[in-house]
Structure 1
């Protein structure tokens, strides 16, 4: 019988004990090779070894978000995410995620995730198209059923914390790992989120559209469109003459979203 080597990334002791208990119930042969509680320790560990069969990972740790590490590392084993946060579905499955357990999860939910790992581990030629389809469906369900769209964001500043109303945001832009929101006065606000896909999941898709890899626009602030070239549109926003461009693979969907 194969012994599975498991890494646990969790900063709360009760949550770690629950994982240990559920793993023991689901599997007779395993070894928890390491328990990590911080993003900094995770970064150091993954730079030295990835000798694991499976990772159980929380997302928000005491010193940051695990995707700060995962986005810079090529992972060689699957991850089962176990978290209290429901807005990271896309990020999770971009980082080798095969299941997403929302706390407090039951043993039945844990068992379903574990069995998915066993099936993938035992299949020498897994059907990745089927897996991707399952993941996409799960993400869609999560977006439709679990995510509550934001009506404001808490923004930290030197003077404290203030609240930025979503309805006043003209667009979002990602620049060198930092995400900015621009309001009606063209004032720039530094967002607390570190992963751009996080922002997209928190916004009402009827009001906001991601026109390229690094920009999201608010429908009500779109002033006009012009053809930039055959497959790209220039998007004029009625906020201090800001002009953005769609990516080629987004233009058609953007037109459909606008009903044109």
Structure 2
């Protein structure tokens, strides 16, 4: 029996992982589902017996590498995420595969086969393994061509298309997601969660600065310290603020 822990804060994403595990021929059992950094640290500090970790990057209260930098973990990790900018961090931990959302069963199955080969002692040397993982990741980036260029939006007069490159930021407010364009016009999107739209956008262009806002790097005009652990971001007439657990990763994303 292969004991699996899932680190994922979205229920639909967890259900998808369960479904794909069930489709395999291996005897997987999910012993724990974790949605926050704090719960993950508390869980791993008890040194549970784990065979495999399926991990997203951004959890409800922060970045998952806050967990892996604090705990001792010997279990291999398959990262399943919408972010393509953390692959080096992933392989500096116990990462063995990096599956980019949205993904199909075939992609997930390949990652599990990589785990099976390690489990059965078929891997060569750590350097060889790292090279193969790097090659696998690079091929996934090449395949990732489905970032949206236009977003269809329903209106009373029909459907129109908003150009993604002209969106300055996106905001979620009580289950309604808005996109603000270059003219500060607010568009109501069809998606009902920020994560749902985020997974369709290029992560080198858009970043989630807090629980409710995504910013477009191309329109960041000024960054000022707001509090000790947060910054204020000037985008046209708007001033947006990072959350404490996003500030460091936002600064890194901006190249600061």
Deviation at 1:137, TM superposition (A): 3.1
**Match status 1:193 vs 2:221:** no
Q: Distance in 2 between matches of 1:76 and 1:124?
A: 18
Other-structure match for 2:56: 58
Cα shift readout 1:224-247 (whole Å, capped 9, x = no counterpart)? xxxxxxxxxxxxxxxxxxxxxxxx
Q: 2:114 aligns with which of 113, 116, 119?
A: 116
Q: Distance in 1 between matches of 2:115 and 2:128?
A: 14
Q: Distance in 1 between matches of 2:139 and 2:219?
A: 23
Deviation at 1:12, TM superposition (A): 0.6
Q: Secondary structure at the match of 2:45?
A: helix
Deviation at 1:49, TM superposition (A): 1.6
Change over 3 Å in CA distance of 1:155–1:27 after alignment to 2: farther
Q: Secondary structure at the match of 1:158?
A: strand
Other-structure match for 1:47: 45
Cα shift readout 1:191-226 (whole Å, capped 9, x = no counterpart)? 823499x54xx65xxxxxxxxxxxx8xxxxxxxxxx
**In the alignment, is the contact (CA less than 8 A) between 1:60 and 1:66 conserved in 2?**
yes
Aligned residues: 175
- List gaps (5 residues or longer) in structure 2: 145-202, 206-216, 236-245
**Match status 1:88 vs 2:86:** yes
Other-structure match for 2:232: 161
Deviation at 1:151, TM superposition (A): 4.2
Change over 3 Å in CA distance of 1:195–1:161 after alignment to 2: closer
Q: Over the residues paired in the alignment, what is the CA RMSD in angstroms?
A: 3.2
Other-structure match for 1:183: none
TM (norm. structure 1) is: 0.58
Deviation at 1:71, TM superposition (A): 1.5
- Report the more deviating stretch, 131-140 or 110-119: 131-140
TM (norm. structure 2) is: 0.59
Deviation at 1:142, TM superposition (A): 6.7
**In the alignment, is the contact (CA less than 8 A) between 2:98 and 2:137 conserved in 1?**
no
**In the alignment, is the contact (CA less than 8 A) between 1:7 and 1:33 conserved in 2?**
yes
Change over 3 Å in CA distance of 1:96–1:28 after alignment to 2: closer
1:133-144 alignment to 2 at 5 Å? 133-138=131-136
Cα shift readout 1:16-63 (whole Å, capped 9, x = no counterpart)? 000000001113412111000110000101111241100000110110
Change over 3 Å in CA distance of 1:81–1:145 after alignment to 2: same
Other-structure match for 2:204: 148
Deviation at 1:72, TM superposition (A): 2.2
Deviation at 1:135, TM superposition (A): 2.7
Q: Distance in 2 between matches of 1:132 and 1:123?
A: 15
- List gaps (5 residues or longer) in structure 1: 165-190, 204-215, 217-260
Deviation at 1:157, TM superposition (A): 4.5
